[in-house]
C-alpha cells in the first residue's frame, strides 16, 4: 500500500472513548469545522451545533450534533422566488450524504491535529433522541439531527480496528457470487481482530439476547459479527416512531403523508 501523511492519518484513526481534560481551542474547533465544510456537497444541506458544557460522553472536550438542514436551502430559494418541489426522500438522502462527508472531513481534520473523536448514532434509531435534541437545540422545521460527534485529546491508545479484507469490499466490474467460505473468512478477520484487542471486554458491552434465544457467549468469543447481528437482529423493527419523529421535523417520507 502506498503511504503518505494523509493516508497514514486515515489508516491510524480510531474511535476514541476516553479523553483527557484538555480543552480544544476555538481555533482548533473552527479549523476542524471549516475543513469539514470543504467536503464535496450536493447543496451544503447541513448545520453543525456544538457545546462544551459537561458532562459530555467519554469525558470528551466538545460535543457536536451534525444535522441535515433543508431549512437554509429553502430560505435562500425563497429569496430567489422558488418553492421546493423535490420529494423529501431525495432531499434527505442528499442531505445525509452532505452531512456525512462533512462530518468525516471533521474527523480526519481533528485526527491530523492529534484530536480524537467518536460518533454517537442514537438519533438514527431513536425517535426520542431526535425529539430531545430538536427541542434542546431549538432546531427549526426541515432540520434533522443526523449524528452526534464528540472530540477531545485521547487518553487511550490502541491499534486501529480491523476492516473486511479488501477482496470482500472491492469488486471489479460486477458483484461476485459470494460463497459461504468468503463470508466466513471475512467474519473471521473481523472477529479475530476485535477479540485480539479485547474490544467488547474493555468496554464491558454485550447486547443481551431477547425472546428466549440461548446465549453461550462470553467475552472470549463475543465479537463484532455477533454484536452486529444482535443489534440488527433485535432492534428497531418498526419504522413507525422514527417516521413520526422525522415527520415532526417537517419531512414527509411516504405518499400518504403528503
Ligand atoms: C453512524 C455511526 C454511529 C456510531 N455510534 C456509536 C455509538 O453510539 N457509540 C460508540 O461508542 N461508537 C459509535 N460509533 C463508532 C463505531 O463503533 C466505530 O466507528 C466502529 O466500531 C469502527 O471502529 P473505529 O472507528 O475505531 O475504526 C458510531 C459510528 C458511526 C459511523
Mean of the per-residue pLDDT values of the chain: 96
Number of Cβ atoms within 10 Å of the Cβ of 66: 26
Residue nearest to atom 1 of ligand 1 (CA): 121
Q: Which three cell numbers stand for residue 133?
A: 435534541
Ligand 1 mean position, distance from CA 130 (Å): 18
Q: What's the average model confidence in pLDDT over 21-42?
A: 98
Residue nearest to atom 8 of ligand 1 (CA): 120
- What structural domains and CATH numbers belong to the chain? 5-157 (3.40.109.10), 166-232 (no CATH)
Give the mutation target among 101, 117, 120 for probing the ligand 1 site: most ligand atoms within 8 A of CB: 120
Find out whether 167 and 138 touch, Cβ atoms under 8 Å. no
Q: What's the average model confidence in pLDDT over 10-31?
A: 98
Q: 88-112 and 5-12 helices cross at what angle (nearest 10)?
A: 110
Residue nearest to atom 18 of ligand 1 (CA): 15
Residue 5 has pLDDT above 70, yes or no: yes
From residue 256, give the alpha-carbon distance in Å to each of 70, 87, 244, 247, 251. Answer: 21, 13, 13, 12, 12
Residue 258 has pLDDT above 90, yes or no: no
Please indicate whether residue 253 or residue 95 has the higher confidence score (pLDDT). Answer: 95
Ligand 1 mean position, distance from CA 64 (Å): 15
- The pLDDT tens digits for 53-67 are 999 999 999 999 999
C-alpha 145, offset from chain centre: 11
Residue 79 has pLDDT above 60, yes or no: yes
Cross-sheet strand order for the sheet of 116-120: 46-51, 62-69, 143-152, 116-120
Question: Measured on CA atoms in the order 223, 224, 225, 230, is the torsion positive or negative?
Answer: positive
pLDDT at res. 213: 87
- Give this prediction's pTM: 0.96
- The pLDDT tens digits for 130-183 are 999 999 999 999 999 999 999 999 999 999 999 999 999 999 999 999 999 999
pLDDT at res. 254: 81
Positions of E strands within the chain? 46-51, 62-69, 116-120, 143-152
Ligand 1 mean position, distance from CA 223 (Å): 15
Give the mutation target among 11, 12, 15 for probing the ligand 1 site: most ligand atoms within 8 A of CB: 15
H/E run at residue 78: helix 71-79
257 pLDDT tier (thresholds 50, 70, 90): low
- The pLDDT tens digits for 176-225 are 999 999 999 999 999 999 999 999 999 999 999 998 888 999 999 999 99
Q: Indicate whether residue 197 lines ligand 1 (CB < 6 A).
A: no
Amino acid at each position: 500500500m502506498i503511504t503518505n501523511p494523509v493516508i497514514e492519518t486515515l489508516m491510524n484513526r480510531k474511535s476514541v472513548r476516553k479523553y483527557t481534560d484538555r480543552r480544544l481551542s476555538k481555533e482548533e474547533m473552527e479549523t476542524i469545522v471549516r475543513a469539514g465544510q470543504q467536503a464535496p456537497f450536493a447543496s451544503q444541506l447541513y448545520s453543525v451545533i456544538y457545546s462544551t458544557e459537561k458532562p459530555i460522553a467519554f469525558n470528551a472536550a466538545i460535543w457536536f450534533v451534525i444535522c441535515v438542514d433543508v431549512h437554509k436551502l429553502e430560505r435562500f430559494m425563497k429569496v430567489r422566488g422558488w418553492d421546493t418541489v423535490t420529494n423529501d426522500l431525495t432531499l434527505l438522502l442528499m442531505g445525509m450524504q452532505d452531512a456525512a462527508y462533512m462530518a468525516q472531513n471533521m474527523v480526519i481534520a481533528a485526527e491530523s491535529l492529534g484530536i480524537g473523536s467518536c460518533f454517537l448514532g442514537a438519533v438514527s434509531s431513536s425517535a426520542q433522541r431526535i425529539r430531545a435534541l430538536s427541542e434542546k437545540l431549538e432546531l427549526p422545521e426541515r432540520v434533522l439531527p443526523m449524528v452526534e460527534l464528540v472530540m477531545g485529546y485521547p487518553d487511550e491508545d490502541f491499534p486501529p480496528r480491523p476492516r473486511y479484507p479488501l477482496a470482500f469490499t472491492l469488486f471489479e466490474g460486477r458483484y461476485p457470487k459470494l460463497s459461504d467460505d468468503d463470508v466466513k473468512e471475512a467474519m473471521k478477520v473481523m472477529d479475530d481482530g476485535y477479540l485480539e484487542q479485547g474490544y467488547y471486554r474493555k468496554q464491558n458491552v454485550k447486547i443481551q439476547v431477547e425472546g428466549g434465544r440461548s446465549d453461550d457467549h462470553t467475552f472470549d468469543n463475543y465479537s463484532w459479527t455477533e454484536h452486529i447481528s444482535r443489534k440488527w437482529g433485535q432492534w428497531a423493527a418498526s419504522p413507525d416512531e422514527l417516521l413520526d419523529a422525522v415527520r415532526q421535523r417537517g419531512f414527509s417520507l411516504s405518499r400518504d403523508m403528503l
